[in-house]
Amino acid sequence: MVVATLSSGGAERVTTNLAGRWAGLGESVTLITWSDSADDFYPVDSRVTRLGLGLLHDSPSWFAALFGNLRRIRRLRRVLRALRPDVVVSFLSKVNIVTILACRGLPSRLVISERVHPPRAPLGAPWEQLRAWTYRRADEVVALTRETAEWLAVHAGCKRVSVVPNAVFLPLAVGEPSVDPRAIVGSDGNILLAVGRLVEQKGFDWLCRAFAKNCTQFSDWSLVILGEGPQRDRLESLAAELGISERVSMPGQVGNVADWYARADLFVLSSRFEGFPSALIEAMAAGCPCVSFDCDTGPRDLIDDGVNGKLVALGDVDALAGALGGLMRDPALRARFATRSEGVLERFSEERIMAGWRAVLSG
């Protein structure tokens, strides 16, 4: 299994979950990253062989980036020749391209997993050309949704594309740091929870603006955003500009996210786009009432609007504020959504999703 890092993120969490499950079934699993293993955020099952290549570096120029990726191709190819795996599975677009190039001529079956909806996350011209040239050479491509599968067939020429969404892997992994929700919001306060890296994709700027519209009316509610990333300073400045700094908490990455789902009164996904949002699946499985932008892709596969949650037109901050306000004032509606949202446990159960992966790996 090949991925760039095991830093905090949805694809990284899925990778470690799959590695642990396959190892638990008696498979010999090696998990390879560009980064060094000392940088891991997610714990790796002790039965999984962990190999960090130490080749994750910032590239100050296109020449440095090219040289860095050539080093990754050569190093990965040497490792795979030594391991002689039956199957190689890679995750994330650029890692997929590098892995395909490293595997050329090797006997291993090659499966690549696209974790985003490509038209919403363009790679730039050189990488897009490489994707169109390389993806069709993989033995199979795994997409998270039918929309992504269709795009890959048309735009990347992929002949074999399987749809295998993310599973609800329970119980959620527990690690450090452990942050007690009671240390952030008292037991008498209500929590609006969001989870994700502090990057533009996650739309936390939209979320702050929507929350600000409800602050005066709902003085007992706090917004908590779990995650870390480059937009922290910008989001903190925005909260100050909106006058909601005292009502917004960003504790950073936490290793006990299950405790936060259990404590949350309402969960919100404000993303501009997704592949298939693990945080939304986990929140629904934990019984959180949920509101989400109807972004590409994933939320509309999980939420039946008005039945087990609320979908809002992408980017409509006023509509998001209205949906949040409606649920903040209506505990009965929150309870109804919470009860119905747990249906994702069956639709996206570990057993069902692992069966999909078994079919892919067996060819």
Q: Which pLDDT score, from 0 to 100, does residue 64 have?
A: 80
Element (H, E) at 31: strand 30-33
Q: DSSP label at 172?
A: P
Q: Which pLDDT score, from 0 to 100, does residue 94 have?
A: 95
pTM exceeds 0.75 for this model: yes
208-249 residue pLDDT tens: 999 999 999 999 999 999 999 999 999 999 999 999 999 999
* Domains in the chain with CATH codes: 2-167+349-362 (3.40.50.2000), 181-347 (3.40.50.2000)
Q: Which ranges in the chain belong to alpha helices (H)? A: 10-24, 62-83, 93-103, 125-134, 146-155, 204-212, 232-242, 257-263, 278-285, 299-302, 317-328, 331-341, 344-347, 350-362
Q: DSSP label at 168?
A: B
292-333 residue pLDDT tens: 999 999 999 999 999 999 999 999 999 999 999 999 999 999
260-285 residue pLDDT tens: 999 999 999 999 999 999 999 999 99
